[in-house]
Amino acid sequence: GAAGGKAILFKEFGKLDSFDVEVDQVDPEKFIEAVVAISPTFGGINIEDVKAPECFYIEKEVQKRCNIPIMHDDQHGTAIVAGGAILNSLELINKNIEDIKVIVSGCGAAGFTCAKYFVELGVKKENLIALDIAGVVHKTRKDLGDNPDVYLNE
């Protein structure tokens, strides 16, 4: 599976030993407790296949409670690859990142973090539109909860 493939990548490119640990838990608090409880065994934890919006809370909480690197691969792994693709493409066509317009179609764990990373790389917020199943992700949406981190556009 994907986790086994990532273990090979960690070994080949980072000289790190890794293995897959399955946590069969859908309750975010219990999932967090399980990850925190096993964390002293590891030098870092790569969380995989946790859906939005729970993934944002879970990653933040696990990072707060552990003293090792914690990463949610669905978010950050995808954002790093997509960000690299944008930067390489811009180099090929000789454009500046602050001059482009970006649309992110699908704003779950990966799409949302990609959009945030694109802004960190230099895409102007006003030039980025992120869409999910209900439309544009923006502050006037009532279905996104009260977390200010989820709003990409005014």
What is the pLDDT at residue 49? Answer: 86
Contact (CB, 8 A) for 105 and 131:
yes
Task: Catalytic residue, from 6, 15, 60, 116: name it.
Answer: 6
Contact (CB, 8 A) for 38 and 68:
no
Rounded to whole angstroms, the Cα distance separating 93 from 65 reads 44
**pLDDT tens figures, 82-127:** 999 999 999 999 999 999 999 999 988 899 899 999 999 999 989 9
What is the pLDDT at residue 146? Answer: 57
| Tokens found for residue 149 | 């981190």
What number is the average pLDDT over the span 19-27? Answer: 90
- Residue found by looking up tokens 């859906």 in the block: 51
**pLDDT tens figures, 125-142:** 899 998 988 888 887 777
Active site residue 11: no
154: helix, strand or coil: coil
